[in-house]
Amino acid sequence: MIDSLSDLVFALRSIDLDGRETIRFRIDGFKSVVTRQMLELRLRCQPQAFGIGAEHIGTSIAGDALHLDVDALIAMNDTVAAELAQVDGVLRYLQLVHRAERQVAGEAQAFARAMANGRPTTARFLAYVSASVALQAMGGLRFCMPSDLRERVAAICAEDAEVLLGSERTSLWMQVRLAELALARRRLRSDPACYAAMLRRFQRRWGYLGAEDIDFVAQERREAIEGRIAELCSEPRIAAEVSAIAAARVEEQRRRRRAYDRFARARPDRHLVALTLLARALAAHDDRNRQAKMRMLRDLRDLALRTGDELKIVSLDRLAATCA
């Protein structure tokens, strides 16, 4: 999708939307050039990520607003919706979602190895950006899903529709919270050296998830993490919260088993089963995408530090040009 620096420059080019009907989105919550560029790439490259065309969807950023070509967006969504009307189409998109998740995880690891060995090549950087764009683009599938899907599932399992269409994975919030509780318990029970080592691991693995943009930098600082951990440092509080989370997970698993059993006994048609699986994958995508997006932003921060650039204003094409 983005194989060369010229591909990236072309994908980020200015597009004139004069004369086209557009929809306007406020993007003042996007606080850095990189996150705005990634948003624009995700929207422009959706047809390529979905495998339905090579053309870019017209977008333009002006100030704190993003303008999007409505006709192009509708045409793309109609194409995807037509594919989702068939079992094979649903399965194709389900494979795309899972492939995008695997690919961005692999590229993130490869980028980390390259950083550990010096500086990533431009090709390595672009592969990471391309994989991240593809994963973010998968979120657009939810706007193409049948509008009556929940109603159709509820007709079979009225009480369990939410469970059947929800993520099967432990939520990212719960993973981070359990890690915080474990860190708080280590602070109470272990010597300072053991706690400090665990804190460093927590900082690298979870610290970047404390915000949605470059403000993660403040949230991942040791002082900020320790401030949050200090509030948890009470054995009764830790035990009570761990117990509550464990009970919630057991109940969630019980509801899921019951819902799956009822759904299977109802013998829904293959198309509804496939759509339900895709809906679950898209529900899980929210957490996977946020973690991947924020990890990439942290990794780009690390790269910017090496090149002497400021994360808030550095661009993707500038970072690509500084790679080996």
* pLDDT tens, residue by residue, 146-179: 999 999 999 988 888 999 999 988 899 999 999 9
Dmax over Cα atoms in the chain, in whole Å?
67
Q: How far apart (Å, rounded) are the C-alpha atoms in residues 49 and 290?
A: 18
The token pair at 240 is: 């009570």
pLDDT digits (tens, 9 = 90+) for 11-57: 999 999 998 999 999 999 999 999 999 999 999 999 999 999 888 99
* 173 Cβ contact list (under 8 Å, min separation 6): none
Confidence of residue 125 (pLDDT cuts 50, 70, 90): very high
pLDDT digits (tens, 9 = 90+) for 192-248: 999 999 999 999 999 999 898 999 999 999 999 999 999 998 999 999 999 999 999
Q: Where are the domains of the chain?
A: 5-52+59-156+269-322, 172-266
Model pLDDT, residue 301: 96
245, 178 in Cβ contact below 8 A?
yes
Q: Which residue has the tokens 């599938």?
A: 141
Residue percentage of the chain with pLDDT more than 90:
90
Stretch 293-322: mean pLDDT: 94
Q: How far apart (Å, rounded) are the C-alpha atoms in residues 106 and 97?
A: 14
Stretch 272-293: mean pLDDT: 96
β 59-62/65-69 pair status: antiparallel
Sign of the torsion angle spanned by Cα atoms 18, 24, 28, 30: negative
Stretch 101-110: mean pLDDT: 97
Confidence of residue 324 (pLDDT cuts 50, 70, 90): confident
pTM of the model: 0.93
Stretch 101-115: mean pLDDT: 97
Q: Which residue has the tokens 């509804």?
A: 272
Q: Which residue has the tokens 């035990």?
A: 239
